[in-house]
């Protein structure tokens, strides 16, 4: 009896840790690459449909979701206010919300926040379209500090607003703002360094190593730039021109290579940055990633070739060494991606979830289901057997993709 009690206690103690190890605390996950560490997550879907668990309404916008310690964080806009929501990840029940003034700022699309909340320990960090940065208590939503990077530091607002999420690097909160980044003290919001005040690109800062040193990649309006995180000093930059300066999909890094891609007919390329000397290895127009960041697995890159709303978009697999196409999917509406356990979760722009093997030897679908309606540009999030997705008008849906009680 005593042994059974000890075993049960050990299992209870281990469960939260196991659950939280599958957290997704920031845009593109714990490893900044769009890849989840979750295993064995795809189960049998009753009648081919993942079981719906809950729904919530979070306002207009394109913020994705962050998951940490059993809580979900996202953002939306309603009645000229942005709201940061904290929900129970299992039930969808609201724990807290924090609102502040912000115009919807619709321009050729619905508008609303495009950045995703970033959870770092006891705090959550957000960035609004016009430059309001908030550091909130992750448990209560209480404001720790707030700054306006446009009014306080003169950072020009890009045509479609600030859309990159906050990156936390040690004691710094780094943003894709100005010529090549802005760093604030994460505890106080005070400026540490600013690269310049010109309009930025739309991607999220990506940490990586170059020349054996820690660096941050910033997809700016006209370049991809590698900077030293403590000072903002540049290691290198490589020119990248896209119409309307819409450099939005995050670079994908593996070893000394970086895959960069953008839309509006541009295409993608591999940049070799050995010894901090960037050199373009190849370029083609096979993946024109307007917003969905490509994902690298092994020596292959997976990405969506298509512009937002394009119903003739394709998921593609390219050889990272040569750019050669390994396979092309049937056509669908653009959407976004994540990968877990060798499987691609492709959330199409129309709310259909397509699960595809992340292997170069051919396009192979494992599951497909219409899960939601409306426009879906935000990246789907997988955590603890649950898949979270939201559309432009703010319908947030959670479904059980594992198909077993352990998912909930």
What pLDDT score does 308 carry? 73
pLDDT value at 4 more than 70: no
Average of pLDDT values for 319-324? 98
Nearest residue to 345 via CA among 372, 315, 318: 315
CA–CA distance, 75 with 162 (Å, rounded to integer): 14
Q: Average pLDDT over the chain, rounded to whole?
A: 93
**244 φ, ψ to 5°?**
65, 15
State the pLDDT at residue 404. 58
Domain boundaries, the chain: 24-407
Q: What is the pLDDT of residue 259?
A: 98
DSSP β-ladder status, 81-88 and 182-185: unpaired
pLDDT greater than 70 at residue 3 = no
- Split at pLDDT 50, 70, 90, the class of 403 is confident
Question: Mean of the pLDDT values across residues 339-355?
Answer: 97
Q: In sequence order, what are the residues at sequence separation of 6 or more whose Cβ sits closer than 8 angstroms to the Cβ of residue 322?
A: 282
DSSP for 297-341, please give it: ETTEEEEEEB-TT-TTBEEEEEETTT--EEEEPPPB---EEEEET
pLDDT of the residue at 20? 57
Nearest to 316 by CA among 340, 278, 341, 344: 344
pLDDT score of 11 more than 60: no
Q: What burial class does residue 105 get, using C-beta atoms within 10 Å of its C-beta: 0-12 exposed, 13-18 middle, 19+ buried?
A: middle
| pLDDT above 90 for 185 | yes
> What pLDDT is recorded for position 291?
87
Segment 18-38 mean pLDDT: 88
Is 60 exceeded by the pLDDT of residue 170? yes
Instruction: Give CA torsion, residues 284, 289, 292, 297, to 10 deg.
Output: 0
Residue 203 reports pLDDT greater than 50 = yes
CA 67 to chain centre: 12
pLDDT at 9: 35
pLDDT value, residue 295: 98
> What is the average per-residue pLDDT within 8-21?
41
The superfamily CATH assigns to domain 24-407 is YVTN repeat-like/Quinoprotein amine dehydrogenase (2.130.10.10)
């Amino acid at each position: 009896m005593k042994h059974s009690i000890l075993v049960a206690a050990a299992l209870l103690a281990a469960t939260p840790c196991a659950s939280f190890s599958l957290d997704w605390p920031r845009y593109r996950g714990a490893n900044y690459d769009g890849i989840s560490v979750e295993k064995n997550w795809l189960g049998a879907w009753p009648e081919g449909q993942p079981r719906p668990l809950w729904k919530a309404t979070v306002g207009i916008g394109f913020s994705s979701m962050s998951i940490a310690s059993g809580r979900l964080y996202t953002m939306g806009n309603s009645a000229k206010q942005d709201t940061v929501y904290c929900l129970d990840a299992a039930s969808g029940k609201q724990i807290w919300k924090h609102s502040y003034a912000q115009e919807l700022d619709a321009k050729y699309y619905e508008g609303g926040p495009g950045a995703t909340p970033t959870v770092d320990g006891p705090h959550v960090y957000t960035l609004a379209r016009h430059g309001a940065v908030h550091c909130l208590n992750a448990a209560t939503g209480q404001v720790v500090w707030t700054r306006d990077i446009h009014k306080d530091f003169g950072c020009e607002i890009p045509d479609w607003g600030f859309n990159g999420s906050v990156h936390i690097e040690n004691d710094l909160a780094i943003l894709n703002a100005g010529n090549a980044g802005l760093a604030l003290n994460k505890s106080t919001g005070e400026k540490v360094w600013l690269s310049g005040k010109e309009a930025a690109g739309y991607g999220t800062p990506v940490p990586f190593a170059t020349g054996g040193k820690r660096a941050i990649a910033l997809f700016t309006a006209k370049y991809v730039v590698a900077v030293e995180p403590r000072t903002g000093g540049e290691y290198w930059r490589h020119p990248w021109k896209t119409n309307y300066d819409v450099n939005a999909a995050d670079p994908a890094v593996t070893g000394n290579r970086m895959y960069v891609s953008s839309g509006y007919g541009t295409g993608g390329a591999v940049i070799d940055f050995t010894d901090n000397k960037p050199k373009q290895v190849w370029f083609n127009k096979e993946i024109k990633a307007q917003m969905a960041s490509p994902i690298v697995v092994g020596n292959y890159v997976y990405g969506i070739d298509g512009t937002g709303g394009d119903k003739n978009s394709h998921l593609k697999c390219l050889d990272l060494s040569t750019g050669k196409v390994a396979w092309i999917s049937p056509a669908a509406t653009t959407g976004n991606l994540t990968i877990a356990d060798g499987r691609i979760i492709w959330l199409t722009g129309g709310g259909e979830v397509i699960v595809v093997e992340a292997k170069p030897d051919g396009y192979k679908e494992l599951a497909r289901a219409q899960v939601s309606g409306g426009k879906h540009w935000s990246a789907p999030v997988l955590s603890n057997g649950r898949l979270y997705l939201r559309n432009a008008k703010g319908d947030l849906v959670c479904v059980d993709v594992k198909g077993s009680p352990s998912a909930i």
